Amino acid sequence: MTAPVPANEEARLRRLRSLRVLDTLPEQAYDDIVEAASALMDVPIAAITFVDEDRQWFKAKVGTEVCETSRDIAACAHTILQVEPLVVPNATLDPRFRENPLVTSEFGLRFYAGAPIVVDGEAVGSLCCIDRVPREVSDRQVRALAALARQVNTLLVARLERARLEQTEQRFEAFFDNAPAALFLKDKEGRMQYVNHQLESIFGRSCEELLGLTDWDWLPEESAAGFEADDRRVRETGETLVVEERIPLEDGGHRIWRTLKFPVQMGSETWLGGFAFDITQLRDSEAKIQEQAEEIAQRNVELAKTLAMVESAGNAAQQAAHRFEQLFAGLPVACYTYDSEGRILELNAAAESLWGVPAFEAMMEPISSVIYPNGDEAEIQSEIERVFSGETIRGQERLVQMRNGTERWLLCSTIPLRNFAGDVVGAISANLDITERKATEDLLQEKEERFRTVLDSLQEGVMLYDVNDGVVLWNASATRLLGLEGDALRGQRPWDWKMVRPDGTEYAAERSPLLRALVTGKAQSPTRVGIRKSEEEFRWMNTSIAPLLTNKGKRPNAVVISFLDETERVEQEHKIGAQMEQIQRYSVELEMQKHELQRANSQLESLATTDGLTGLKNHRFFQEFLRRKVGQSQVVGMPLSLVLLDVDHFKTYNDEFGHQAGDAVLRTVAQVLTHGARGQDLVARYGGEEFVIVMPGTTSEAATATAERIRQALESQEFSCRGITASFGVASYGPLLNEAEALVRAADEALYLSKEMGRNRVTVWNSPSLVA
C-alpha cells in the first residue's frame, strides 16, 4: 500500500530543499551512523534516506548498492508520517507492506525499522534498518535508533550553518575590498600587514609589494619619521587620531592624505589601523589661496609705501597705482577692496565673474548688498571693525547666496591695508570658490559614516588589531560577543584572553592563527578558538583573520579579525560526541555478543546437521537445502537435479565382515561421492547405506553423467574385504516434479528400478505415472 501524502507536505519539501543535501557526495559522518545503526539492530542493511516528491534518495547506506527508489514503494514514506520510530517485525503480515514489491520480489524484505529525521518540526527522511528475515527488537534498540536519527538532524543543521557562515565571510571580504577609503593595518613594528585595492591603485604598487614594508622602506626619511611619530602617538594614547600626511610619489609628485589612525589590539601587541582619504586637490587649492593672499598682502604693503610717497613723487605714485591696478585686475582669485565704511573700492575681473556684477556698478556700494546680500549685518560690521583694528582674518569658509539665487561656498581671507605710518587705510579680501571641494568633503564624511554604520550592523564581531597598539577599531557586535562595554577593547591583545584550541590546549602566542596571519601575510581560514570572558564564563568563537598587506608584500603589521559565537554549537557537538562514544561502546558490546552467539550457533548447527559417521550433511540438512533450491527454481526457473544411491548388498557385507568393516565402506563411499560432486552440489547421507546428491543448476543429462562417473569410481574403488557397487536413481526439476517431495519420490523410484534391473546401474526417472 502506497503511503499517503503528509498534510504538511509543502512545508516539509521546502525544509528538505533548504538543507541542500539531495544528490550530494557521500560523507563519512553519515556513513558512520548507518554502520552504527546496522550493528545496533544486527541487520545487514541500513540507510539514511530523504523523501522528496517522487523518490527516496539514499545519503548513506550499508548492505545495498541501491542509491534511490520510487517513493511509491518506499517504506520510509510511511515513517515520515509519524514522530515515533516505525517498527515492522514481519512485513508479510502488515497490510501496509505485504503487497509491496520489495516484499514480494526476490529482494524479500521482511523486517523494517525506521526513525524519522525531523528538522525544525518537519520529517524530511528517516534512518532505517532492513532484514530479509522477520525479527523482534527491544525498546532500547528502538530508542537508540531514534537517537541516531537525531544525530543526523544535528549533522544537517551543522551543514546548513557552515554554508551560512561561508556566505557571511564572503560578504565581509567583498565589503573591505570595495570600501571607498584606502584601508591599511600596521603591526607593532610599523610593517604593513593589510592594504586594500584603493591604496594599491593610488600608489601604483600592488598589495603584495606593500605587505611587510615599513614606511622607512619605501618613503623618504622625513616622511617616514613624521608618520612614525603619529603612529607612536596613537599607540601610546590609545586614542583615534586624525592627521594630514604628505606622501611623496615615485614620479616626483606627492599626495596629501587625511588619515584616521586608530589602535588595534592584536593579542599582547598594539597594531595600528587606518582609513585614508586623498585631499591633495583640496590642500593644493588652499595653499594656492594662501600663497596668493600673502602675495596680495605683500604687494599691498608695497602699494601702501608707494601711496605714501605720492605726496613727494606724483609720477612714481601714479606708476605704482597703475602697477597695482594691473596686478589686482589680473589675479585669478576673486578680490575686492573696501573702506572703513564697508564700501567697495575695487573689484577685479575674477570677482566680477564670481558675483556676476560689473566693477563700475559695485563701486562705493556696501559689501553687505553686493558681496553678502543675505548676510548678517551685525556679523559683517563686526568683521569690518576687526580688520580695521589691524586683525588679519584667514581661511574663513562661508556659504554665500549669489545674485542669481545660487549658493556657493567661498574660502575667504581678509588683510588690512596700511599706509607708511602703519595706519589701516583699507582692506582687501581674497575669495576662492570651494563649492566643489565642500561637496567632496561632504561625500567623504557621508562615506565614513556609512562605513561605520555598515560595520556596526554586522552580526559578526569585527576588530582591527595593530601589532603595536592592539585593538584599535571594533564594531558593536565585537563588544557584545566578548561581554565588554564602551572602549574596553581598545589596546587589548587577543592572546591576553587565554585562548585555547578545540582540544582544550592553550594557544601559545607564537602559534596562534593571528600570529600566523602576521608572519605569512595570508588570511587564516575559519578557526575555532576558546576565549574565557570571565572566571565563570567560557565561550567558543569561530574566528577568521585577514592581514592588512602593504603593496610591497612584506609582513603585515595589522589584521582584521572577525568572529561569531558558536558556544552552543560546540556544547551540542560535545554532547553528540559523548553520545556517539556511548553508542560505540554499545556497538562493541553488541558485536562481541554477536560473534559469541554466531560461534555457538555455528557449533550447534554443525552438530545438528552433520552425520557423525561419514562427516557428510545429514538427512535434516538435506531436506532444508532441497526445499530452498526448489524454491529458487520456482522463482527463476533454474535447473535442479537429484541423485539417490544405495550400496548394493550392504546388509550381506555387514553380516559377513562385521559392522566396523561396514562403517569403513560407508566412509569410503562418502569420500568417493564428495570427490565426484561439484563444489556447489550437496552430498548427504540419506539414511543407512543410502546417499543423496543435490545438484543446483544441473540438467538431467549432466546429472546422469555425473552419477555414471561416480558409479564407475565406486566399482573400481578398492575396499579392504571385497568390491562394492551401488545403484543410482536420477530425477530432475520440471512441471511434474516442482516440489521437493515429488523429486525425492521420483529419484527413489528410479533407484528401485536400478535394483530391479540387476543393480550397479544408473536409472533416470521418466514416468509421470510413478509420481502420485
Give the residue numbers marked as catalytic.
689
Judge residue 519's burial from the number of C-beta atoms within 10 Å of its C-beta, 0-12 exposed, 13-18 middle, 19 or more buried.
middle
Q: Please name the amino acid found at residue 22.
A: L
Distance, CA of 595 to chain centre: 41
Helices 139-177 and 28-41: crossing angle, nearest 10°?
180
Exposed (0-12), middle (13-18) or buried (19+): which is 661, by Cβ within 10 Å? middle
Place of cell 582674518: 393
Q: In what order do the strands lie in the sheet with 407-418?
A: 344-347, 334-338, 424-433, 407-418, 393-401
Tell me how far apart the alpha carbons of residues 729 and 736 are, in angstroms, rounded to a whole number: 17
Query: In this structure, are strands 254-266 and 241-248 parallel, antiparallel, or unpaired?
Result: antiparallel
- How far apart are alpha carbons 291 and 675 in whole angstroms? 119
Percent helix, strand, coil in the chain, to 5, is 45, 25, 30
Classify residue 446 as exposed, middle or buried by CB count within 10 Å of its CB (0-12, 13-18, 19+): exposed
Q: At what angle do helices 435-457 and 280-308 cross, to 10 degrees?
A: 150
Other residues' Cβ atoms within 10 Å of the Cβ of residue 766: 12
DSSP for 345-372? EEE-HHHHHHHT--HHHHTT-BHHHHT-
Grid cell of 619 as nine digits: 538427512
Print the SS3 string covering 57-85: EEEEEECCCCCEEEHHHCCHHHHCCCCCC
Pairing of strands 68-70, 86-88: unpaired
Give the cell for residue 419.
599706509
> Nearest CA to 116 among 231, 6, 273, 240?
6
Phi-psi category of residue 257: left, alpha or beta, with phi > 0 → left and psi -120 to 50 → alpha: beta
Q: What is the dihedral of CA 487, 492, 495, 499, to 10 degrees?
A: -10
Q: Which helix (H) or strand (E) holds 127?
A: strand 122-131
Spatial CB neighbours of 427, under 8 Å, sequence gap ≥ 6: 337, 338, 339, 384, 387, 388, 414, 415, 416, 417
3-state SS of 712-734?
HHHHHCCCCCCCCCEEEEEEECC
Provide the 10 A C-beta neighbour count for residue 648. 19
End-to-end CA distance of the chain: 40
Beta carbons within 10 angstroms of residue 528's beta carbon: 16
Q: Is 517 left (phi over 0), alpha (psi -120 to 50) or beta?
A: alpha
- Identify the residue whose cell numbers are 572566571: 535
In the block, residue with C-alpha cell 599582547: 268
CA dist 695 → 31, 51, 89, 427, 741 (Å): 40, 44, 34, 129, 16
In three state form, how does the secondary structure of 543-558 look?
A: EEEEECCCEECCECCE
Contact by Cβ (8 Å): 707, 728: yes
- Rounded Cα distance, 390 and 297, in Å: 13
